[in-house]
Structure formats: structure tokens, C-alpha cells
A and B are shown apart, each in its own frame.
With several copies, the nearest count.
Chain A
Amino acid sequence: MRQRLAGLARRDLALARSDRRSYVPGIVAVLVFLATLALVLALTLAGAAGRFQAGLSGTLTVEIPVPAGGQAGEARLARALEVLRQTPGIAAADPLSREHIAGLLEPWLGKFAGLEDLPLPQLIDVRLAPGATVDLAALGARLETAAPGTNVDDHRRWLVSLQRLARLAVGLAVLIVVLVAAAAAAAVAFATRAGLSVHHDAVDLLHLIGAEDRYIARQFAHEALILAFKGGLAGLVAAVAILAAIAFAATRLDAVPLPAFGLTGGDIALVAALPLAAAAIATVTAWRTTMRALARMV
């Protein structure tokens, strides 16, 4: 075993020395940095969307518009509430206060003096019993007769666009990670070929002495592994530092950094695996590049 390890770490080729000027760690650091940011943001977004969706999916909102023909608002509200409370599967139906509604509108209307005098629609917050489903078409028809113009919103539009957003973010993150992996592989392949040409004489000597291609490729792969892992670790650390700074800034002073992004243990493991993935890609790429190039030598 010790024997085997010594074999793996063998460095007949002065790769390490010549690779002090290697661009591999730098490039891998930047790539892992980007991949980490992309992945964390996508996972955060997906997580938030999931939680938001869970919160929305058991609720409905009923809107009773501003009276058109002078009909008393309060009466319409009472009738709608009655209909709702009689519908099986609905656990609760609470009208929102006028102040609450004005608060919701404020970002759009601004705080201006005339706001109190403006006629406002009325909103009812409806919670369904857990697991219950409600026939929205039938409910809508009954509400229409009770209070004409009433509008039932099951947040489907929101839910759909949330899901679309989350899927888009995850897709983008996956795309970025794939691109990053491809770029890392390309950089390592390029560096390996350059290394082979720089160390051509030594490689040639090893061949003449009876070394198999594997013996030589192992050294290039080992070097690539170390360089890429170092770079990847640096990139990960930088990304985590930036994210922690963002989380810290976002939650001021009373936050533990990562939970602010709402990552699960699995998410964190995924992100932490990025330098390992980079090292694995680099190792395999260097190995393959070397084996292919050596096969073309005598």
C-alpha cells in the first residue's frame, strides 16, 4: 500500500516546478467561484420558491371590487363571507382590514393625503382545510350570485410563474456548472499538452527506459489533480466569503450567514463538492490527454 502510494506520488517529471507558472489553479479558482455563486443562488431561489409555494398552495383570495352601482360594500362582503363559510373544505375566511389593503397599495400609490377618501376593493383571505380540494368554478358561480363582480384568485398565476422562475434558475445554474466543467476540462487539456511538449525530452527518456504510458500519464494526472483541487478550494472559499458577506449585509447583524440563504444540508454538500468535482474532471482530462498524446509518440 505504501508502495502503491509512493508510486502514485512519483514525480520523475519536474511537472511541479514548471507548473509554478501554470494557469490551471487560477482558471479553476475562477470557474469554481462562478459555479458556486450560480449554484447557491439557484438553490436559494428554488428553496424559497418551494417554501413560498407551500405557503400559498392551501389558500385562496377573494376580491370584491369597488362598488359600481352604489351597492353597499359591507353587505356584499357579508354575503360573500357567508357563501365561503358554507362551502365544505374551507377552513377559514377572514376579510382583510381597510388599513391592511391600503398598506398593500401604498408602494404603488404612494402615501398621499387623498388615500383615505379613495374607494378601495375588499379582500377576503381564505384558508382551505389540509388536503381538501374546492371546485373553483362552482364556488365562483355561487359568489357571483351572492356578490356580483366577485373574483376568486387561487394564486395559480403566481404559483406557475414561481415554478417557472425556480426551474429557470436551476436550469441556468446547471448550464453554468456544465459550461464551467467544460471550460475547466479544456484548460486542463491545454495545459497538459503544453506540459507534454515542455517535458518532451524527459517523457521520451522514460519511454526509452521502458515506462508504460500509464506510468507517465499518472504523473500528469496527479499534478492536474493537485493544481485543480487547490484552485477549486480557493474559488470555493472566495465564493463562500462573498456569499457570507451578502448574507451578513442582508440580515444586518443578527444572522448566521449560510442559513440566510436557506440551504439544506444536501445543498451545502453539493456546493462543497465542487472543488472535488473540479479535481476529478482535471484528473480524468489530464489522464486522457496524456494517454492520447503518448499513443501518437513512437
Chain B
Amino acid sequence: MVRFENVGLRYGLGPEVLRDISFELAAGSFHFLTGLSGAGKSSLLSLLYLSRRPSRGLITLLDRDLATIRRTELPALRRRIGVVFQDFRLLDHLSALDNVALPLRVAGAREDQVRAHVIELLTWVGLGDHLHAKPATLSGGQKQRVAIARAVITRPRLLLADEPTGNVDDKIAVRLLHLFEELNRMGTTVIIATHNTGLVARSHHPELRLEGGDLTRHARRGAA
């Protein structure tokens, strides 16, 4: 599903943020990605959602070698990946509903199917009363939930969530974790970057820890 071989990443002439990272994630697995602030979690995820190419090394994703992929193939590949960005990246002038509907519309879904589906999901994350609110009128946690809904609306094969619970209370955090686990049960491979040690501790999923540019794997409670 995801394979890194000796991957390194540096920005411009700076030091390597990631160095010599190798790992492999099975399809349908669920991992936390942890590390101190500035360790490179978001950078690693950006390699996975094809926003950046590594400075060196090989990445295989959804059975495709990213080094050889052509530009015209990117959209199809990206549509199978859902991303919750750390800073949400909602479009300011679109309502919550339109923001969440975006990946469906971009993929050419029929409008009548889009609406019902989006409303259901937004209601599930507790935003049934804010369907037509613009991001500027939403609270921090509400924006975060819109971002999460947008990432999962297409039931992607791979879900990447960057600090998806930084702005919500513990109750909602647990609820969102359940959402991710539900998707995971249906076959989605999930990677969640987080500082929320409580969340990581409460679950049984393995942890990928970034430290000084190196990645180490930590199993928990006997899970793979």
C-alpha cells in the first residue's frame, strides 16, 4: 500500500528534515504518526499526498512508483487519497456544504447524489446546523470537522489526517477517531499525525515515531 525506501527530504539548501526513511504499511492498516513539533510529520504526509517529491529515495503508493508517474495520472491517484490538513485549507467563500462537496464535484459526481451524502456526513460530525455557514463564521473545532468531512466524503483508499483533533474537545476527538476506525474497517488505510498522547494511548494502533529525521515503529497492546 505505502512503501518508503531510503527516502530523504530537504527544503531548499536546509538540513534534511527526513533522512533515510524506510517503512512499509499494509493495506487496511491504521497508524499514528508522532513526533515533536517540527519533527517532520506534516512533511512526511505531504510526500504521501503528492504535494512534494522526495529529495531522494523511492516511494510506492497504491501500487504506483511515484518517481515514474506522469502528471496526467496524478488527479486519478489523488482522488483515492483523503487529506485532513493541519491548517484545514477550507475555501473561504464556500459554505461548509460546498467545501465538503468539493472532492465529489471535482470527480464529476452527480449533483443529486452529492447533496444528500454531504448533509448526512456533516450532521454526523455535529454540523447539521451549520450547513450553509462560511468558514469565517465557524468555530475552530467546527472548521476542523468540516476539513475532516471533506477528507472522508469520497471514502478514500488512503486517509492522511494531520493533527485532526487539535481544536476539538476530548468527546468529539473520540467520536472522530471512531469515524476513522469505521473507515479503516471498510478497507481504508489510515495514518494520523498527532500530538494527542491521550488519543494514542487510548487506542491499540501502532505508532510511527519521527525523531531527528528518523522513523521508528512502536506496536501497542499486541496489535500489528
Report whether A12 and B78 are in contact in the complex, using a CB–CB cutoff of 8 Å: no
A202 to B94, CA, bound (A): 11
Known: A17-B93, A205-B89. A295 touches B71 (CB 8 A): yes
Q: Is A3 a contact partner of B79 (Cβ separation < 8 A)?
A: no
* Among candidates B74, B102, B111, residue contacting A3 with C-beta atoms closer than 8 Å: B111
Report B-chain residues with C-beta under 8 Å of the C-beta of A6. 111
Complex contact A210–B92 (CB within 8 A):
no
Question: Cβ of A210 and Cβ of B111 under 8 Å apart?
Answer: no
Which residue of chain A lies nearest to B77 when distances are taken between CB atoms in the complex?
A210
Query: How far apart sit A14 and B135, CA to CA, in the bound complex (Å)?
Result: 14
Closest to A297 in B: B71
Q: How far is the CB of B81 from chain A (nearest CB, A)?
A: 8
Q: How far is the CB of A273 from chain B (nearest CB, A)?
A: 34
CA distance A209 to B108 in the complex (A): 12
Q: Does B110 contact A (CB under 8 A)?
A: yes
In the complex, B91 has a CB within 8 A of chain A: yes
Q: Which of A1-19 contact B (CB under 8 A)?
A: 3, 6-7, 10, 12-14, 17
Instruction: Give chain B residues whose Cβ lies under 8 Å from the Cβ of A17.
Output: 93
Whether the Cβ atoms of A208 and B49 lie closer than 8 Å is yes
B52 — which chain A residues lie within 8 A by C-beta?
Answer: 298
Q: Contact between A12 and B102 (Cβ–Cβ < 8 Å)?
A: yes
A261 within 8 A of B: no
Any chain B CB within 8 A of the CB of A248?
A: no
A209:B78 contact, CB within 8 angstroms: yes
- How far, in whole Å, are A205 and B103 apart by their CA atoms in the complex? 10
Is B155 on the interface with A (CB-CB < 8 A)? no
Task: List chain A residues, Cβ under 8 A from B150.
Answer: 209
Contact call B110/A208, Cβ cutoff below 8 A: no
Kindly identify which residue among A3, A205, A210, A295 contacts B91, using a CB–CB cutoff of 8 Å: A205
With A210-B75, A210-B79, A210-B107: A298-B93 Cβ-Cβ less than 8 Å: no
The reply on A206 being an interface residue by CB < 8 A is yes
Does A207 count as interface, using CB distance less than 8 angstroms?
A: yes
**A residues near B71, Cβ cutoff 8 Å:** 295
**B49-62 interface code vs A (CB 8 A; 1 in, 0 out):** 11111000000000
B223 within 8 A of A: no
Instruction: Answer yes or no: A211 CB below 8 A from chain B CBs.
Output: yes
Asked if B76 is an interface residue, CB under 8 A from chain A, the answer is: yes
Within 8 Å of chain A (Cβ to Cβ): is B106? yes
Cross-interface CB contact of A298 among B51, B75, B103, cutoff 8 Å = B51
B102 lies within 8 A of A208 (CB): no
Q: Is A82 an interface residue (CB 8 A)?
A: no
- Partner of B93 from the list A14, A207, A215 (CB cut-off 8 Å) is A14
- With a cutoff of 8 Å between Cβ atoms, the chain B residues found around residue A106 in the complex are none
Give the complex CA separation of A207 and B71 in angstroms. 11
Residue of A17, A206, A207, A210 with most partner-chain B CB within 10 A: A210
Does A201 interact with chain B (Cβ within 8 Å)?
yes
Tell whether, in the assembled complex, residue B91 and residue A202 are in contact, meaning their CB atoms are under 8 Å apart. Answer: yes
Chain A, residue nearest B49 (CB): A208
The answer on a CB contact under 8 Å between A210 and B89 is no
A223 nearest CB across to chain B (Å): 14
- Least distance between B151 CB and chain A CB atoms (Å): 9
**A215 and B106 within 8 A (CB):** yes
Give 1 or 0 for each of A184-219: 1 = CB within 8 Å of chain B CB. 000000000000000001101111111110010000
Which residues on A sit within 8 Å (CB–CB) of B185? none
Most buried by B among A14, A202, A205: A205
B105 on the A face (CB < 8 A): yes
Least Cβ–Cβ distance between A9 and chain B, in angstroms? 12
Q: Which residues of A contact B210 (CB under 8 A)?
A: none
Of A14, A209, A298, the residue contacting B102 (CB under 8 A) is A209
List B182-199 residues whose CB lies under 8 Å from chain A.
none
A209–B103 CB distance below 8 A: yes
Complex CA distance for A12 and B52, rounded to whole angstroms: 23
What are 22 A-B residue pairs whose CB atoms fall within 8 Å in the complex?
A7-B108, A12-B94, A12-B102, A13-B91, A14-B91, A201-B89, A205-B89, A205-B91, A207-B74, A207-B75, A208-B50, A208-B83, A209-B102, A210-B76, A210-B79, A210-B103, A210-B106, A211-B75, A211-B106, A215-B106, A298-B51, A298-B52
Query: A208-B83, A209-B78 provided; 17 other pairs, C-beta below 8 A?
Result: A12-B105, A14-B93, A201-B89, A202-B91, A204-B51, A205-B89, A206-B106, A207-B75, A208-B49, A209-B103, A210-B79, A210-B103, A211-B75, A211-B106, A215-B106, A298-B52, A298-B53
